[in-house]
């Protein structure tokens, strides 16, 4: 934990009357948990300040947090904080660069250190965990609330796969336990995060039945627009099925390739061992070593990604 930079962040917060918090496009629980958790933390700590949450659709996660109406004029003399977003093109919401100061808080590899002040901890399980660390470092001047705890717990649960992923540490579990002492139902929240529609459940069956696995443990599923329409599932809902192949015996790494209306493919990439984020970077993406995203312009580029996965798997298995 870098307490010096947390102190700098707190100083910037205290120096600005308007604070606008952004997160990434197509948000997951950690994006909304870190954004909303920080918002609630600052709202309780500095009730005289004007706080806004900026960004587009929350894609079925409105039970976590909803956005404010933010106008271009709001950014005048404002402090802008972006959470859980590695690259500036992924920031959701316009005008994030037009404030008085920009701060990046994230746990992804720092390939683009945008902003006037940057705090990145790739050892953290989630950006929500970092926000709790920020609270601990500045506890004498910050106030944790039940709602902040609920949101931050959701972010941690979401990005650790309910504490199953390798990024989960003893520190992560201690923080989660601390947050559970606040007044919200972790059981109810987990149930909300775990619930899927019948359409997604049916698509899950399709994924498990149709995943192709090569001799090296590389799996892949192609979800075309026709398949999505057949099951009545939107692209944003496919996040719920990304982890499914990991439960299948013999699969080491995998990609779920979702066709977009524009014709290219959104690539959801996962691994149980070999680092895959460098592959993602070569294909217009990035992310964590074991969980990344990319974009493929066509099926030929999908084949290139799978070839690169195959090479990683062969090296890993030697």
Closest to 42 (Cα-Cα) out of 62, 72, 20, 61: 20
The per-residue pLDDT string of the chain (318 residues; one tens digit each, 9 = 90 and over) reads 577 999 999 999 999 999 999 999 989 999 999 999 999 999 999 999 999 999 998 988 999 999 999 999 999 999 999 999 999 999 999 999 999 999 999 999 998 999 999 999 999 999 999 999 999 999 999 999 999 999 999 999 999 989 988 899 999 999 999 999 999 999 999 999 988 899 999 999 999 999 999 999 999 999 999 999 999 998 888 888 999 999 999 999 999 999 999 999 999 999 999 999 999 999 998 888 999 999 999 999 999 999 999 999 999 998
Q: By CB neighbour count within 10 A (0-12 exposed, 13-18 middle, 19+ buried), where does 251 fall?
A: buried
Helix/strand/coil percentages in the chain, nearest 5: 45, 20, 40
Q: For every residue of 166-223, which 3-state class applies, written as one string?
A: CCCCHHHHHHHHHHHCCCCCHHHHHHHHHCCCHHHHHHHHHHHHHCEECCCCEEEEEE
136 in Cβ contact with 18 (< 8 Å): no
- What is the reported pTM? 0.89
Length of the chain: 318
Q: What is the DSSP letter of 21?
A: E
Residues 6+ away with beta carbon under 8 Å from 198 = none
Q: What is the largest CA-CA distance in the chain?
A: 61
103 in Cβ contact with 115 (< 8 Å): yes
Cα 167 from Cα 156, distance rounded (Å): 10
């Amino acid at each position: 934990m870098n307490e010096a930079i947390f102190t700098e962040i707190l100083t910037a917060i205290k120096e600005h009357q308007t604070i606008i918090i952004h997160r990434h496009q197509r948000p997951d629980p950690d994006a909304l948990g870190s954004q909303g958790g920080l918002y609630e933390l600052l709202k309780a700590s500095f009730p005289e300040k004007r706080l806004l949450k900026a960004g587009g659709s929350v894609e079925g996660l409105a039970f976590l947090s909803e956005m404010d109406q933010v106008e271009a004029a709001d950014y005048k003399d404002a402090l802008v904080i972006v959470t859980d977003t590695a690259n500036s093109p992924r920031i959701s919401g316009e005008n994030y660069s037009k404030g008085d100061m920009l701060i990046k808080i994230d746990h992804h590899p720092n390939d683009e250190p945008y902003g006037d002040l940057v705090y990145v901890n790739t050892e953290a399980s989630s950006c929500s965990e970092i926000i709790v660390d920020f609270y601990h470092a500045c506890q004498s001047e910050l106030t944790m609330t039940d709602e902040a705890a609920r949101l931050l717990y959701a972010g941690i649960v979401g990005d650790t796969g309910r504490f199953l992923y390798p990024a989960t540490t003893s520190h992560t579990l201690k923080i989660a336990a601390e947050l559970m002492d606040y007044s919200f139902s972790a059981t109810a929240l987990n149930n909300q995060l775990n619930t899927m529609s019948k359409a997604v459940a049916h698509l899950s069956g399709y994924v498990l039945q149709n995943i192709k696995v090569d001799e090296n443990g590389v799996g892949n599923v192609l979800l075309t627009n026709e398949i999505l329409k057949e099951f009545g599932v939107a692209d944003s809902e496919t996040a719920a099925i990304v982890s499914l192949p990991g439960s299948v015996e013999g699969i080491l790494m995998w990609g779920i390739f979702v066709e977009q209306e524009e014709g290219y493919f959104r690539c959801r990439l996962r691994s149980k061992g070999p680092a895959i984020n460098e592959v993602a970077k070569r294909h217009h993406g990035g992310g964590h070593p074991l969980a990344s995203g990319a974009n493929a312009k066509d099926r030929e580029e999908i084949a290139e990604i799978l070839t690169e996965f195959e090479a990683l798997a062969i090296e890993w298995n030697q």
